Every structure is written in structure tokens, then in C-alpha cells.
Amino acid sequence: MTARDLRQTLNELGIEVKSASSSLDEETAQTVRELFTKQAVVPAEKVAVPARISVRDLADRLHTDASSVVQALVQLGVMVTANEEVDFGAAEQIAHRFNVVVVPEEEEPTETAAAPPAAEAGAVAAEAAPAAEEVAPAVLAPPRPPVVTIMGHVDHGKTTVLDFIRHTNVTEQELGGITQHIGAYQLVRNGRRITFIDTPGHEAFTAMRARGAQVTDVAVIVVAADDGVMSQTIEAIDHARAAEVPIIIAINKIDLATADQDRVKHQLVELNLVPEEFGGDTICVPISAKTGEGIDNLIEMILLVADLQELTAERDKLARGAIVEAKLDKRRGPVATVLVQEGTLRRGDATVAGVTSGKVRAMTDDRGEGVAFAGPSSPVQIMGLSSVPAAGDILEVVPNERTAKQIAEQRQLEQRQRELRPSAGRVTLQDFYEKMQEGETKDLNIVLKCDVQGSIEALQKSLEQLHHEEVQVRVIHAGVGDISQSDVMLASASNAIIIGFNVRIEPQGRHAAQDEHIDIRVYQVIYDVINDVKAAMLGMLEPVYEEVVLGRAEVRATFSISRVGIVAGCMVTEGRIVRGASVRVLRDGEVVHAGSVDSLRHLKEDVNQIAQGSECGIGVAGFQEWQEGDIIEAFQEQEVRRETL
């Protein structure tokens, strides 16, 4: 639902709202939240399974993929492959996670019971009614707090906004007033929890901003009303778009005499973020982090946007979360900040994160206080891992430390194997088709860097005109200047290639590209860019197969051969007939059978092929109703290279 649809719904409820920036009183806001947080009720499905069943068959009956079932079994401490079998007890536990009730296969009724007579139907229904009421339907996962990322240009007031919300003084603790690490904080407003991730705005920490966008539900882009949209503002918007999260624009510093909100909004229009006042769907909230003006309205907008997404997460399951930040503390050892995404993380849990494992020995919240457990959307700092995990790794709880260690060791082995194949998993222009995910529409994501703005406009327009019903070029970010580490990290997060035009690659960018295995192409001629991308798109297209006729033969007589059946005595009139080739039998111009050549004889010898002008005996699998005059047409399918879009 868009903001415009929400306003229309509120107006239908008798609530007058002029724009998304309009304030709502607490009673009205609570009514709206209840309207959008009602959860649907879905009854659990019943599935019959035998005493032992293979993982693959179980996955089919649960309507999921085998890898998901294997992963769930690993969390239970059961190490199996997709082709191995599990007992009924294990199948029952796994099915519960997918909201499915399993029953022994022998208890499944084999015949449909006869319908009761009409006279008895009412009595039967009356007796069944109480039983039906006793069956409690399964309820979807409960709501979880939203995770909000605050991004924007350096010194535009991101940390100051969060500082005012938290009523603390974080900014002065940071070097030069610029955030030096990712901090995750949770606050309670109007009885609801909100988790904020404060990502750095300085270019040196652009990679951290990309990590923040990967775990967020709502992105708040802070733009200073006096400076307007800057280079890092555009980068922040591109990161949020790449993560496909809703964007709220917070126009900060409106208390300054030089503030110009209209200029900021017109700049946003140029970035395809059209404010509601201009007829678009982008929510723009004017605020002052210094005086606090508009902060309450900003929080209300965050909650409304989050409610529209109907965010939910299971609590009664093994925890799973993302590593936001990690470091090696001289006194405490490896310390990691974890954002729990589902389940409940408890002190004492055995965990695995990337290639490291361990046990949660201690856990503190964002205020530094010790906690025993943390639910979905809660940021906590944990200790007890064997080594420092990488930011962005997924932390998972497993049954015991032994299982965690086995999984970590297996991942270490897989990581070493990937290092021997450094390009695996990354898209390049040469092998883009093989790297594409399955789907009807394929996207070629491009980060474009040029020497001047005019080159960007010309190249971006030319690239986006290279379209096809199966392929789409997406320029996810375009900017002026050399290729930097920031560009590489965005390409890494979006599985994109980087194209540079009359620019250089910065040393840090080159090193990052080597580490992340990102394909960078630098050109001096626009036509070379277009031709290379066009070639990549041709490689992306689904292959086209063309039927090639190998030869034809006419049936002149039929023979009955013991242990073979009826074969056709033929004369090859065109081309050649090949054993194993696909054939169709034509009679009076119509196809009466399609199959393949399973026997081919010349005189009394078996042959692999027979050429034009020769007589032969042909047997076709599954067909013996030959008639004189039938035409046998042999053919094969060959892939045809696509030369045009």
C-alpha cells in the first residue's frame, strides 16, 4: 500500500489527513496500527508420512525445498543429506516448523466414507460442531519491532537525530562528531519498540552503510535543508533502493535561516523520489534535530510505514540473526553485535556464524546491561565465539557446541574451495548468463562511473535502451569521478558489474574489487561499452533451438523379425538416417508417430548410420504399424546463436 492509498483509507474512516507529514493523535494512531497489524489465521495442514521417509520426499510433502529441510535437521542435531531417510519423530518436529501436522501413513483413510442420509445429516452436524470448535487454528507469527537505518551525507545530522530520540549524547563521544562504527539501539515510543541502526556517513565507511541497509525494514535518509542533496545522499538512496526497503526523507536543520525545503524536494524529484506534495509517494518529514521539532512526527511515520509491511517473526524457535559489527577485545576476546531476526537468542546457546562457532557466555543490550535472552529485532552484544566473525555473517543457534563446530569446520573447507575459484558466485560480462538466477526477467545490474555529467547522461540513456522482454539493464548507481571502494561495495551488495568511462580505479577500490571479486571494465569509447553490454545480454537470453532435418527414407516393404518385431524396409531418399536420432513417421502428410531409431541395419549388419541412395531396415521404438509409402523423417535440435535483440 502506498502513502496515497493510506491517506485514502484514513479519509474513508473519517480521519482527515492532508499529507503523510500530518500528525495523528495517539488514539487515532493506535486505531490505524490495529487496522494494519491484524494477523490472518491459517489452519495447520495435515500430511501423512511413513515410519521412515527420505528428506527429499518429506520436503515435497511439506511444499518446500530439500535444502530447507536439511538445514532444519542440522539445527536439531541430525546430520543427513537430501537422499537419506529420517524417522517419523524427526519428520514430525520438522513439519511443525512449517505449520504442518504429520500423521502416520497407515492412519490415513483409504476410502471416502459414505455420506449420511439426509435425515441424519443434521444430527451428525450437531455432534461435529463442538469438536470443530475445539480445534484451535494455527496463528501466524506475532509482530516484531521494525529495524530502521538512518543514512545520509556526512554532517547532515544523522547521529544527532538519533541522539535526540534516545535523549543521550552519542555525537560528542565520536571522533570529530563523525560516527566511527555501526551502533544498534532500541527505544520504546508509545508502547512500541523500534530498533535503530546508525550507519556512518563518511565515505571511508561506505561499506558499513551497505551492511546496514541489508538488515533494515525502513531507511530514513537525512538531508540538511541548507546543504541539500549531496554525493553521499545519492549513494545512501542507491543503497536503500538496492536493498528494496521503503525510504523516508527527513529534511533536517529546518531551524536554520538558510534552510530551503523546496530546493531539497526539487532535488529529490530529479532522483525519482517525488514528495507527496508534488503528487508522489515519497514521505518527506521536516525536522530539527537540535530543537526536536518534527521528531515525533518522524517516529509516527516510521511506525506507519512499518505497519504497512506487516513485519512478523517467530519467537519460539532457534534464533537466527545478522552480525552487525564484530571486533577483538583485548579483555573480553571476540565480541559481536547481533541483530536477532527470528527466534529467541539465550545465554548458553551454541551458535555458528560464518566460519566461527562458540557458546553465548555473556550477552548485553544496547545500554550495556546484561540480559538472559533477546527476541526478534533486538540488538545485543555477545561474547563466547571462537574467533571474530565477519560483519554481515548470519548467526544461527544449533543444538550443541559439537554441531556448531562441525558446521563451522565444513564452512571453512568450503571457503577454502571457493578461494581456489575466486570468480564463483560473482557476475562478469563474460559469464553473466551462467550466473543469473532463475526467473522470467533477468537483470544486469551496473554501477556506472564517468568523467563528466554529460557522459553519464549519454551512456545511461544508451544502456537503458538495450532492453528485451527477457533481459533488463539496471543502472543502480551513476556518478562522476574515479571508481572507489564505495562503488565496489555497492556492486558487491547488488551483484553488479562496474563500468567506468574515462576514469581511473582508486587503489583502495582496486584492492576491494580483488577481495570481493567484482568485474570492473574501463572504456574510452562509448560504442565499446554498448557493444560489450549487448554481447553480455545476448549471452543472457534463453537459448533458441532450431530443428535440423538429417534425412528422409521411404518405406518400400515391411518385415517381421523374431525378437525385434515389425521393421520397415526403406530407401534413404535424402540425407542420412542415424541410429538414435529423433524421427517422425509421416503418412499422407500427417504425423502418425514420433520416436527414435532404435535399430538400423544394412543387409544383415547393424550400422550406426546409412546414407542417401542406400537400402536399410529401420526399427522405431514403440511403433510397428508400418505401411508401404510411409515417410521416415530423421531430425535433431541444434542451439542457434542469437545475434540481435
Indicate if the pLDDT at residue 556 is higher than 90.
yes
The chain-wide mean pLDDT, for the chain, equals 78
Highest mean pLDDT among 5-14, 66-75, 295-304: 295-304
Cell numbers 570481493: residue: 516
Closest CA to 248 of 3, 591, 497: 3
DSSP bridge partners of 86: 53
Domain count, the chain: 5
592 and 617 both lie in a single domain: yes
pLDDT tens by residue, 208-223: 444 444 678 998 999 9
Residue 8 belongs to some domain of the structure: no
Indicate if the pLDDT at residue 483 is higher than 50.
yes
Q: What pLDDT score was predicted for residue 278?
A: 85
Q: How sure is the predictor about 573, in pLDDT bands with cuts at 50, 70 and 90?
A: very high
220 and 262 both lie in a single domain: yes
Q: How far apart are CA 505 and CA 498, in angstroms?
A: 10
Percent of the chain with pLDDT over 90: 28
Residue 636 belongs to some domain of the structure: yes
Of 470, 505, 540, at which residue does a domain stop?
Answer: 540
CATH assignment of the domain containing 68: 1.10.10
Q: How far apart are CA 400 and CA 386, in angstroms?
A: 15
Q: How far apart are CA 467 and CA 441, in angstroms?
A: 11
pLDDT tens by residue, 408-454: 988 888 777 665 554 445 555 555 555 544 443 467 889 999 888 77
Indicate if the pLDDT at residue 125 is higher than 50.
no
* Cα–Cα distance list, 149 to 212, 218, 507 (Å): 6, 6, 29
410 and 286 both lie in a single domain: no
195 and 92 both lie in a single domain: no
Q: What pLDDT score was predicted for residue 645?
A: 47
528 and 460 both lie in a single domain: yes
CATH assignment of the domain containing 477: 3.40.50.10050
Strand 590-602 with 345-346, pairing: unpaired
557 and 536 both lie in a single domain: no
Q: How sure is the predictor about 122, in pLDDT bands with cuts at 50, 70 and 90?
A: very low
151 and 292 both lie in a single domain: yes
DSSP string, 591-639: EEEEEEEEEEEETTEE-SEEETT-EEEEEETTB----TT-EEEEEEEEE
Q: How sure is the predictor about 266, in pLDDT bands with cuts at 50, 70 and 90?
A: very high
Residue 244 belongs to some domain of the structure: yes
Q: How sure is the predictor about 511, in pLDDT bands with cuts at 50, 70 and 90?
A: confident
Indicate if the pLDDT at residue 154 is higher than 80.
no
Q: How sure is the predictor about 13, in pLDDT bands with cuts at 50, 70 and 90?
A: low
Phi/psi of residue 145, each to 5°? -65, 150
CATH assignment of the domain containing 595: 2.40.30.10
- Averaged pLDDT, 366-390: 88
Binding residues for GTP are 152-159, 198-202, 252-255
159 and 228 both lie in a single domain: yes
Indicate if the pLDDT at residue 548 is higher than 50.
yes
Interaxial angle between packed helices 66-75 and 88-97, expressed in degrees from 0 to 180 and rounded to the nearest 10: 110
Residue 120 belongs to some domain of the structure: no
Q: Can you give the pTM of this predicted structure?
A: 0.55
Residue 315 belongs to some domain of the structure: no
Are the C-beta atoms of residues 155 and 223 closer than 8 Å to each other?
A: no
pLDDT tens by residue, 54-98: 888 888 888 887 777 877 777 666 767 777 788 887 888 888 777
Q: What pLDDT score was predicted for residue 600?
A: 92
- Averaged pLDDT, 311-318: 89
Closest CA to 98 of 42, 146, 39, 37: 42
Are the C-beta atoms of residues 448 and 417 closer than 8 Å to each other?
A: no
CATH assignment of the domain containing 245: 3.40.50.300
Q: What pLDDT score was predicted for residue 89?
A: 76
Query: Which of 195-199, 539-543, 575-579 has the weakest average pLDDT?
Result: 539-543
SS3 content of the chain, % helix, strand, coil (to 5): 30, 35, 35
- Averaged pLDDT, 339-360: 92
180 and 231 both lie in a single domain: yes
Q: What pLDDT score was predicted for residue 182?
A: 43
Indicate if the pLDDT at residue 478 is higher than 60.
yes
Residue 65 belongs to some domain of the structure: yes
Residue 32 belongs to some domain of the structure: no
Q: How far apart are CA 577 and CA 586, in angstroms?
A: 15
Range(s) of the domain holding residue 85: 45-107+127-134
Beta-carbon contacts of residue 349 (< 8 Å; ≥ 6 apart): 318, 319, 359, 360, 397
Highest mean pLDDT among 30-34, 136-140, 618-622: 618-622
Q: How far apart are CA 444 and CA 472, in angstroms?
A: 6
Highest mean pLDDT among 153-157, 320-324, 550-554: 550-554
Q: How far apart are CA 338 and CA 323, in angstroms?
A: 5
159 and 261 both lie in a single domain: yes
Strand ranges in 156-305 using DSSP code E only, listed in sequence order: 183-189, 192-198, 218-224, 247-252, 283-286
Q: How far apart are CA 552 and CA 634, in angstroms?
A: 6
Highest mean pLDDT among 66-70, 116-120, 150-154, 634-638: 634-638
Q: What pLDDT score was predicted for residue 129?
A: 36
Indicate if the pLDDT at residue 116 is higher than 50.
no
Binding residues are 152-159, 198-202, 252-255
202 and 303 both lie in a single domain: yes
298 and 167 both lie in a single domain: yes
Residue 30 belongs to some domain of the structure: no
Strand 247-252 with 218-224, pairing: parallel
* Cα–Cα distance list, 630 to 557, 624, 627 (Å): 10, 12, 6
Indicate if the pLDDT at residue 382 is higher than 60.
yes
Of 420, 446, 477, at which residue does a domain stop?
Answer: 420
Of 400, 420, 440, at which residue does a domain stop?
Answer: 420
